[in-house]
Structure 1
Amino acid sequence: MNSVILGATMQLPETYSSWTFDKSVAKNFNGGVPPVGKQGIIFEIDNTVPDCEVVINLFKLFNDSEFIEFCEQNKNHISSYKTGIGYFKNNESEVILKLDKITTKQIWAYGGYSSSIKKLAEMHFNRTPTPKDLILFNKLIKEHNKTIGGNWVTGTAKDRVVKSHIETAQKLTKK
C-alpha cells in the first residue's frame, strides 16, 4: 500500500478487507512491529456506522460447532484447508468488512522503531552522552517501563507521530 497516498487521502486501495476483533492479534500479525525503516498502523473500526458493512463474521462462524464439524468432515474437498481453515481456525478473530474510507481518528496504534539508546540519550541530555549518562538513561528507561526498539504506541504519543506523518504526506502530495 502506498502510505503517502493513504496518509494524504485516507482512501483504502480496496474496500473488502480482513479485520480482527482482538488487538493482540493485530499487534502480533505478520511478526508484530514492522521491520526497521517501515511503519505499521492498527485501525480501530466501529462496525456499527453506516459506511461499514460486515460481509462475514468469521469469528462467529468459527465458534459455531456445526460449521467446524462440517469443515472437518469435508476437509478433503475444501481448497487449501490445511493452510487456511485447518491451520488458522479462529486464531485471528477475523471479520471481513466492506469499508470505503478511514479517518485518522480510527488509528489505534502506530508501530515502528525508536532511535537507538545512544541517540535518545543524546536528545535527553542535549549533548553527546557519556558512559555514565548512558547508565543513568538505561535506568530511567527501566523505571518508566519504556520500550526501546520496535514498539506499538497508542494514545497521545501515537497522535503526535500520526500528525507528523500526515503533514509530511500532505506536503509531498502537493508537490
Structure 2
Amino acid sequence: MLPKRRMRIREVSSSGGFEPRIVGFVCNWGAYSGIEVAGNRQIEYPANVHLIRVMCLGRVHHGLVLRAFEMGADGVILLGCPSGQCRYRSGIEQTKAMVAQVKRMLNMLGMGSKRIHLVEVPAGDGEFAARRITAFVKRTQEMGPSPVKYVPKQPELAHELTSLLESSSKPYPSPIPAGTEKAP
C-alpha cells in the first residue's frame, strides 16, 4: 500500500500546478470515524492528503510534526476529538499545547504558523471532516510550497512517519540510572 501512496505523491506534485503535500494525523476514536463515513458516503477530499491513524492525538509529539515538514510536507493537519470527548481525557488539550508550540517554532523558522492546523471533528461527521481538510489544502496551496527543501535520504514519507510514531509510543526511559535512586 505504501508504494502506491508514494507514486501518488509524485504524480500529484508533477502534474503542472502546485499541489501541496499534506500529512494528516487522525485520532482513531473520534475523527477517524468521520473519515470512514466520508469514504462510505463517497464524500470527497483532496487526494494529496496522506492520513496517518493514531490512537490519540495526544501521543503525537512536536518532533514528529516537524519531521513531516522536514520530509517534504507543505502542511500538517491534525484531526481529533472535540474537547471533552477524548477517550483518554486530555489528548486534545495536550495536542492544543503541542500545536501552539509548533506554530511558534514554524514562525521562528520563517515558515509561518498557518502550515499546521488542528480540527476537532465530531465523531462520524464525514462531511465536516472533508470540508475542513479541503479548506486546509486550499489555504496551503495559496501559501505556496514549504520553504523547507526535502532531500531524499530516507525511505517513504508515510513509512518514516509511521516508524517514528511507533517509536514515540514507547515509554520514555527513566532519567535516573538504575540503582542510583535515593531511598525515601
Q: TM-score range by the shorter chain?
A: under 0.3
**Higher share of residues assigned strand:** 1
Structure with more contact order per residue of length (Cα contacts < 8 Å, sep ≥ 6)? 1
Larger Rg: 1
Q: TM-score, normalised by structure 1?
A: 0.23
Q: TM-score, normalised by structure 2?
A: 0.22
